[in-house]
Chains A and B, each alone.
Chain A
Amino acid sequence: MSLAIRRTKDHVVKAVSTAFAGIALFLLAWILFTLVQKGLPALGLNVFTKITLPPGHNGGLLNAIVGSLIQIGIAMVIGTPIGLLAGTFLAENGKTTKVGHIARFVNDILLSAPSILVGLFVYAFLVNPFGGFSGWAGSAALAILVIPVIVRTTEDMLNLVPIGLREAAYALGAPQWKVVMMVTWRAARAGIMTGVLLSIARAAGETAPLLFTSLGNNSWSTDLSAPMASLPIAIYQYAGSPFDDWVALAWAGALLITVSVLLLNIVSRLFLARAG
């Protein structure tokens, strides 16, 4: 092939690749623009002060927002210590053991496993045998989604901590729990925090696992043993409805959720950039 043809080919591929990157950026901008265009006009004070009401009653999303916060909060309280300890296990004690290898594999599967199946599992495990849909079940489903994210980032971040740091602590006669808690975790603090923030972002946007666990609730309820509202479920219910004011509220909720999730992502990346 002559040089001219090869160079032309090179230029064409470069142009196409640049265009593809442009397409990806355009898609992101398009989604964000749609959310702002449709969500912003509907984002009044009522969204934060009123609960979900029948169509035509100028309702809001207060119960859904609070329900989401409660369930995410509990999921994090359950999921963070388990994820942190399991991640530490993979990076420290279980690193080269058979259990460690299998747990690492299993965690990678859980990380990408369909989230709806987690919902179905919690339904079969907690909802069906224990008297129905509840905020607890929703929190449990979100916790299961949060754990693999924290495990993965914790392990990765602990692996970056120099072995000499641990050696120095052990040389001083510190027991392992002190070395891990006061040296290794502390050294990897920013990275571990990134994982926690990313997992909050993941839990905040998940809809499918809540369908069969906390179900959703159109009245005000903070009772964890009863069905509980959540923002994604409210959006799902409203977006598919034939009522214009409900659809508008769905867009307002969608804008809220996306902005929070994207902000969490960006903040966590800044954390990581500052750490490394």
Chain B
Amino acid sequence: MDATMAGLPGSGVQPGHIGDAKPVGRIADLVFVGLLWGCGIFVLVLLGLIIAMLFEGGLPAFSAFGLDFLWTATWNPVTEKFGALVMIYGTIFSAIIAVIVALPLSFGIAFFLTEIAPQVMRRPIGVAVQLLAAVPSIIYGMWGFFIISPLMAAYVQPPLIDWLGPIPVIGALFTGPALGGGMLTAGLIMAVMILPFITAMFVETLESVPPMLKESAYGVGGTTFEVYKNVSVPYGKTAMVGAVMLGLGRALGETMAVTFVIGNATRLSASLFAPGATIASTIANEFPEAAQGSLKLDSLLALGFILFVISFIVLALSRFLVRSNLKS
């Protein structure tokens, strides 16, 4: 058995070409295998190139401002003083809002899809939820800008400002004029966008729970929810944390939807309603005004590099968690 398997590409070992004596076939095979390796390595090189080009592009900004670039809150094209703090804060904060909102929804929808919905409805509803991920991000941007922002300005932000604004400490998050946009609106829209990714991975994980485990829990009298909470979710915990990280990673780099609603103000503000900026929105918004070879353009590339590093760490962690759960 081992001997036959060893020669197969599916097992990762080069085939021995037993019986393939024709030299034409050999040469064609060499070319083909070369192409396969070439394309596999191309994918590797691509990521390396992206990192290298962003770093190289941002280098003048890093050398002009040093590490201070990371925690300087000024972004002033006039005096050519640039720092990334406001955008890093906006990127992480808005993505965390998105995850906080999307997480309970995903838990609920995954519970619905795996335990509650009648069998015939699971697929269509699952697909419909997945279609939310297919809607292009610019559509979310328009929907957010023309539909959600006015609703936020009229019905959500004013009462929050009235009720929560006066509370010390937390109140700072809920101050300022109700303009409709800002960090909260951006976070809410991104929550809708990452919801299908998290839900799909939750469902996949929950469906991999051995039926025996669940049945024994039902056998000792657990309710559907108790089995979900105490058996299914703990079983897939690692992969589910990975799924949340993937959602976070997606939200960190989201551009168009955020650019439409966040207000694109490069000032630091604690308020959830004040105009802010993320790294991606700043790049999209300020790039057209950045002249070739200017320090501003270098700073935007440096911002891109920082975003890449943050996303890379989050996505790598997500993948590690998801894969380690699948293996065990």
Contacts and interface: CB of A to CB of B under 8 A. Distances in A.
Interface of A: 6-7, 9-10, 13-14, 16-21, 23-25, 27-28, 30-31, 34-35, 38, 81-83, 85-86, 88-97, 99-100, 102-103, 105-110, 112-118, 120-121, 124-125, 128, 144, 147-148, 151, 163, 166-167, 170, 172-180, 201, 204-208, 211-212, 232, 235-236, 239-240, 250-251, 254, 257-258, 261-262, 265-266, 269
A114 B28 contact: no
Interface in B185-233: 192, 195-196, 199, 223-226
B70 to A, nearest CB: 18
Given A110-B47, A112-B250, A239-B145, A204 B315 contact: no
B308 A254 contact: no
A128 B294 CA distance: 13
A112 B315 contact: yes
Given A85-B36, A147-B43, A121 B134 contact: no
B112 interface: yes
Interface of B: 4-5, 7-12, 14-15, 17-20, 25-26, 28-29, 31-33, 35-44, 46-47, 49-50, 53-54, 56-57, 104-105, 107-109, 111-113, 116-117, 125, 127-132, 134-143, 145-147, 192, 195-196, 199, 223-226, 246, 249-250, 252-256, 260, 280, 283-284, 287-288, 292, 300-301, 304, 307-308, 311-312, 315-316, 319
Nearest to B300: A120
> Which residue, of B108, B139, B307, B311, has the highest number of chain A Cβ atoms within 10 A?
B139
Nearest to A29: B128
Given A86-B39, A93-B14, A14 B116 contact: yes
Given A92-B36, A166-B8, A211-B284, A254 B139 contact: yes
Given A103-B44, A262-B131, A269-B127, A89 B54 contact: no
B40 A90 contact: yes
A57 to B, nearest CB: 22
Given A180-B9, A208-B137, 13 more contacts: A21-B109, A94-B40, A106-B46, A113-B50, A116-B284, A163-B5, A163-B10, A170-B7, A172-B19, A174-B20, A175-B25, A208-B280, A239-B146
A100 B312 contact: no
Given A114-B307, A211-B287, A92 B9 contact: yes
B258 to A, nearest CB: 10
24 contacts: A10-B223, A13-B111, A23-B105, A24-B129, A24-B199, A81-B39, A86-B42, A93-B33, A99-B37, A106-B47, A109-B316, A112-B249, A113-B315, A117-B54, A118-B50, A120-B54, A120-B300, A173-B19, A177-B33, A180-B9, A207-B255, A239-B146, A262-B134, A265-B131
Contacts of B42: 82, 86
Interface of B is mostly: helix
Contacts of B50: 113, 117-118, 121
B46 to A, nearest CB: 7
Contacts of B28: 175, 177
Contacts of A18: 112, 116
Contacts of B5: 163
Contacts of A23: 105
B21 to A, nearest CB: 8
Given A18-B112, A86-B42, A235 B255 contact: no
B315 to A, nearest CB: 5
A211 B283 CA distance: 10
Contact of B10 (A166, A239, A254, A261): A166
B214 to A, nearest CB: 15
Given A10-B223, A31-B143, A121-B53, A257 B136 contact: yes
> Which residue, of A94, A114, A206, has the highest number of chain B Cβ atoms within 10 A?
A114
A117 B280 CA distance: 8
Given A7-B223, A93-B37, A118-B50, A177 B32 contact: yes
Nearest to B53: A124
Contacts of A96: 11-12
A96 B9 CA distance: 10
Given A17-B109, A121-B53, A205-B136, A128 B11 contact: no
**Nearest 3 pairs between A and B by C-beta?**
A114-B253, A205-B136, A96-B12
A29 B321 CA distance: 33
Nearest to A255: B139
Contacts of B316: 105, 109
Given A82-B42, A102-B44, A25 B138 contact: no
Given A204-B136, A208-B256, A94 B37 contact: yes
A176 B33 contact: yes
B33 A232 contact: no
Contact of A88 (B8, B36, B56, B196): B36
Given A17-B109, A34-B147, A114-B311, A10 B36 contact: no
Contact of A24 (B43, B105, B143, B260): B105
A179 B25 CA distance: 12
Nearest to A95: B12
